[in-house]
Structure 1
Amino acid sequence: MTSTQIAPLAGFTIGVTAARRADELGALMERRGACVLYGAAIRIIPLADDSELLAATTSLLKGGPVDVAIATTGIGFRGWIEAAEGWGLGPQLVEVLKSADVLARGPKAKGAVRAAGLVETWSPESEASPELLDYLLRDGVAGKRIAVQLHGEPLREFVNALRDSGAEVIEIPVYRWTGPADPAPLERLIDALLAGQVDAVTFTSAPAAASVLETADRLGRLDALVEILRGRVLVVAVGSITAGPLKRLGVPVVCPDRARIGALVRELADALPARATRVKVGDRDLELRGQAVVVDGELRPIPPAPMALLRALAISPGRVLSRPALAAVLRKHSGRESGVDEHAVETAVGRLRAALGESGLVQTVVKRGYRLAVAAA
């Protein structure tokens, strides 16, 4: 079996923080071999029950003609129209929007606009808010009344730029989020991240990213989580707006070219294997993934403690690590300050050899410790 036959995400554990379409996202990852941990970071308030949306819609309709209406997401714009219909305001809202220039941020928003019987005036090729803002400011917005459909997190810079240029802006909060009804799955995901059991974490909305950080802060673990996210864990967000709360804390975030969950999964399938450690041990090619090793194209799951030792040994292949040094690795991995001795190291090395399927890959150096069986240069 060659390494190209190994599923791209096999051996990796990926955290999913999404509330909406979490199962679909997880299924796409699992089909590529990943182990998925779910920890929904938010829950969605049903639009028809949202008093803030009703108040914003009523204000929009009572305030006079609308010059520009901006649809930022398909599901949000469609939900707004459906909620207005439920309140008996649907026909009035559509009539007001027909007299406006309707701008759609992307294809899905464009589809929702057309489904409502409207026609978009313009849509940016980049599907990005900055291009939308440049278009508006280039034509001038002073004195114009502009409705901006939000999509989870207030578009502060976007809205403030319009207001600073003289526009009256009505914000339409079609998505409203609160923390998860049951915070336990999210707290378990944070625990797993801090324990080094998660290789990547995904975000599909800015509120979910903010909620993860707020939850970690409430638990007194924000600094530790940010350190992990800045280091060994790959952080992938569906788009730049989603990445915002994380980037503001200095967390590097990878985003696909297009803001789609399929593109997000493809990004993961490319980026995670590229981060794997590769080393030649004897005549074997090893590729260290999250909790598994690909040995000459064969995937071998490795328990967490032995995997921690293997990673330490692979930092400088062929270098001898003493039993006390490896005991320190196990203590750091387990979070225990005591109770990890040289016997624990010997046990973990035995389990590692068994998992690799070939005991000679990890050599005992008498009275010194252990090393990977790397041929001398």
Structure 2
Amino acid sequence: MSQTGGTSTTDEPAEGPVDAPVVGPLTGYRVGVTAARKVDEQAALLTRRGAQVVVAPALSLDPHRVDDAQLHAATEDVLARPVDLFLATTGIGMRAWFEAAKGWGLLRRLLDHLGDAEILARGPKSVGALRRYGLRELWAPESEEFEDVLDHLRGRDLTGRRIVVQEHGQSLSMVGHALRRRGAEVSTVSVYRVVAAEDPEPIFRMIDLIAERDLDAVTFTSAPAVAALMDAAGSTGRRDEVVSAFQADVVASCVGPVTSAAFEMWGVPTIFPERSRLAAMVKQLETELPSRREGLTLELVGGHQLLLHGDEVLVDGVEVKLSAAPAAVLQALVSNPGNVISRQALLAMLPSGTAGSEHAVEMAVARLRAALGTRSVQTVVKRGYRLAVAP
């Protein structure tokens, strides 16, 4: 032992009580976290369950507000004429817009103006923001997907209707284009833009960990975070390795279906909980990660049991041989048992060389049904397929 300036240092372990390592359902697993907001809460949820956590925010901590003059001008444009339909997409965006309007002395006018319109909300956070300011949505999808909002409007005559869309950090220009094709007059209000993290080094290190299979799972709480990670992976030349890792060994854990949909273009299977909450996402990892090591067992409708262990697939204890395409479909479906996987997502997951059409998906599903039993894979009209698990 030596003493320097009154402070003792020693090479011996300190005596006295030492915190015991946390042992839980995620002990031995390494999980990457890409969130910037509520990162401490998410990390605590994971570490309390024994996981080793690697944090690398994919986006800046705070959304970048658009220029005040631009937002002010957009607000005045909204107020200039009656609004028939208002689409609210995010809670943070709605709150920021209303606070800005308050500063300009326009809040009361804006609330009254939007209150005269039919209001649709994309999910519970935007619903909460609307109600906080005394506005009531007429409808919101359970899925929190904007596609379902558009489906809700399908079949309605939108000719000449004025629609205002609050953008959610990324441009919704394609949504506006789709509505304009149906005769609507569309105005978008951009409250903020999400941008990549100012310091890219943590996300670059996480990309290396993913590509080298040194993480068991990576969590995502927003679609822009998925895009930011993939963009960063592309800039380092490791995007193909990252996609391959997610397709095989690293679990892409998403907070909900909107975030999950951002992976579809890459053919990456994801998992997400029924309720889009951090705690539910972490809870799902508690069962998903151990099952991948020990073999996944699912109880299917009709009293059948499905067991996956490595490349082996067994139904009621009997091994089932699957070719590459049906096996890829099964992997996608078991990653989210009971949840709907779109045809486009399944098509992206089919092996290279497969005909690039939805007919290829239908053929793969037909072969999978023949192997597992026709009731095991259900068709959800206009949406896709799901694995029918026992309640």
Flag whether TM exceeds 0.5 (same fold): yes
Q: Is the 8 A contact 1:104 1:123 kept in 2?
A: yes
Q: How far 1:108 sits from its partner (Å)?
A: 2.6
* CA–CA separation in structure 2 for the residues paired with 1:122 and 1:179: 33
* CA–CA separation in structure 2 for the residues paired with 1:14 and 1:68: 42
Q: Is the 8 A contact 1:239 1:259 kept in 2?
A: yes
1:200 and 2:207 aligned: no
Q: How far 1:212 sits from its partner (Å)?
A: 0.6
1:59 and 2:77 aligned: yes
Distance 1:49 1:75, change over 3 A: same
1:33 and 2:50 aligned: yes
**Letter of the aligned partner of 1:236 in structure 2?**
S
Distance 1:51 1:178, change over 3 A: farther
Query: Secondary structure of the equivalent of 1:276?
Result: helix
Q: How far 1:137 sits from its partner (Å)?
A: 2.4
Match of 1:331?
Answer: none
**Letter of the aligned partner of 2:219 in structure 1?**
T
Match of 2:101?
Answer: 84
| Correspondent of 2:202 among 152, 164, 185 | 185
Distance 1:259 1:99, change over 3 A: same
Calculate the TM-score normalised by the size of structure 1.
0.67
Calculate the TM-score normalised by the size of structure 2.
0.65
Q: Is the 8 A contact 2:89 2:126 kept in 1?
A: yes
Q: How far 1:78 sits from its partner (Å)?
A: 1.7
- Structure 2 gaps of 5+ residues are 1-21, 296-391
Q: How far 1:259 sits from its partner (Å)?
A: 2.0
Q: Is the 8 A contact 1:28 1:265 kept in 2?
A: yes
Match of 1:174?
Answer: 191
Match of 1:248?
Answer: 265
- Greater relative contact order structure (CA < 8 Å, 6+ sep): 1
Worse-matched range after superposition: 12-21 or 150-159: 150-159
Q: How far 1:6 sits from its partner (Å)?
A: 5.5
Match of 1:348?
Answer: none
1:136 and 2:153 aligned: yes
Matches within 5 A, 1:99-118: 99-118=116-135
| Correspondent of 1:96 among 113, 118, 126 | 113
Q: How far 1:187 sits from its partner (Å)?
A: 1.1
Q: Is the 8 A contact 2:91 2:126 kept in 1?
A: yes
Distance 1:233 1:74, change over 3 A: same
Match of 2:165?
Answer: 148
Distance 1:15 1:84, change over 3 A: same
**Letter of the aligned partner of 1:13 in structure 2?**
R
Matches within 5 A, 1:8-27: 8-27=25-44
Distance 1:24 1:56, change over 3 A: farther
* CA–CA separation in structure 2 for the residues paired with 1:55 and 1:226: 42
Which string of whole-angstrom CA distances, capped at 9 and with x for unpartnered residues, describes residues 97-118 of structure 1?
1211112233332221111122
How many residue pairs match? The answer is 274
Matches within 5 A, 1:1-377: 7-43=24-60, 44-47=62-65, 52-62=70-80, 64-155=81-172, 157-277=174-294
* CA–CA separation in structure 1 for the residues paired with 2:217 and 2:70: 35
Q: How far 1:157 sits from its partner (Å)?
A: 5.0
Which string of whole-angstrom CA distances, capped at 9 and with x for unpartnered residues, describes residues 228-260 of structure 1?
121100001122332333220111111222222
Q: How far 1:268 sits from its partner (Å)?
A: 1.4
Distance 1:150 1:48, change over 3 A: closer
Runs of 4+ in 1 over 4 A off after TM superposition: 48-52
Distance 1:83 1:58, change over 3 A: same
- Structure 1 gaps of 5+ residues are 279-377
**Letter of the aligned partner of 1:174 in structure 2?**
V
Q: Superposition RMSD on alpha carbons, in Å? A: 2.4
Query: Secondary structure of the equivalent of 1:275?
Result: helix
Q: Is the 8 A contact 1:15 1:201 kept in 2?
A: yes
Which string of whole-angstrom CA distances, capped at 9 and with x for unpartnered residues, describes residues 35-89 of structure 1?
1111111113343755654443333233x11111112222221222112223333
Distance 1:156 1:228, change over 3 A: farther
Q: Percent identity?
A: 45
Which string of whole-angstrom CA distances, capped at 9 and with x for unpartnered residues, describes residues 127-180 of structure 1?
332332222223332211111222233345543332221112222223411111
Distance 1:245 1:130, change over 3 A: closer
Query: Secondary structure of the equivalent of 2:49?
Result: coil
* CA–CA separation in structure 2 for the residues paired with 1:221 and 1:77: 37
